[in-house]
Amino acid sequence: MEFYDVVKARRSIRGYKNDPVPEDALKRIAEAVSLAPSACNIQPFSFRIVLNSAMRRKICGVYTAPWLAEAPAIAVVLGNADVCWKRLEGEPIIPVDIGIVMEHLVLAATAEGLGTCWICAYDVAKMNKVLNILPPWSAYAVTPLGYANVQPDKIQRKSVDEVFKIIK
């Protein structure tokens, strides 16, 4: 798919077929993830692609949406706030690094014809526990990965002029 077609095709998908995610698609997605920029190239992230059904059930016990349970795979992005670059004021840049690498995964998945949906509205301590993630690592975001069985409704965006101002 052409880049702008991928960007236009990406939507949050909240309904999945149970067809598995092809391994070659996962390999291409992994490469796209590995090419993501990060502050000082520290790459303070690591993904877990959970195919294991018992582990997926545990994740779905923490974030209980039925559509997450339908998906044949769940991607979790882990971040390490201790090692990431810190802003001059001392604030860890980890949310930015995570946002970029996760969106690489999301857009690569879209290019593969797969649906995704960013998920952050879960109890982080509980998610870390079910995934056996220990500090300084933490589960920053989750997404289902799979083929959509729903068509998302049309969505309103702010106008281009409102979000993108050119200063001459």
Ligand X SMILES: Cc1cc2nc3c(=O)[nH]c(=O)nc-3n(C[C@H](O)[C@H](O)[C@H](O)COP(=O)(O)O)c2cc1C
Q: Which chain residues interact with ligand X by CB under 6 A?
A: 11-12, 117-121, 152, 155
Which C-beta is closer to ligand X: that of 9 or that of 22?
A: 9
Instruction: Give the tokens for residue 40.
Output: 């000082």
Which C-beta is closer to ligand X: that of 85 or that of 122?
A: 122
**Shortest approach of ligand X to residue 105 CB, angstroms?**
12
CA distance 9 to 1: 10
Which C-beta is closer to ligand X: that of 132 or that of 151?
A: 151
**Shortest approach of ligand X to residue 111 CB, angstroms?**
16
CA distance 24 to 8: 23
Facing residues of 164 across strands?
Answer: none
Alpha helices in the chain (DSSP H): 3-9, 23-34, 53-62, 66-70, 94-111, 124-130, 160-163
**Shortest approach of ligand X to residue 29 CB, angstroms?**
18
Residue 75 CA, chain-centre distance (Å), reads: 7
CA distance 67 to 147: 12
**Shortest approach of ligand X to residue 24 CB, angstroms?**
26
**Shortest approach of ligand X to residue 106 CB, angstroms?**
9
Which C-beta is closer to ligand X: that of 133 or that of 148?
A: 148
Facing residues of 143 across strands?
Answer: 75
| SS3 category, 155 | coil
Which C-beta is closer to ligand X: that of 10 or that of 86?
A: 10
Residue 51 CA, chain-centre distance (Å), reads: 15
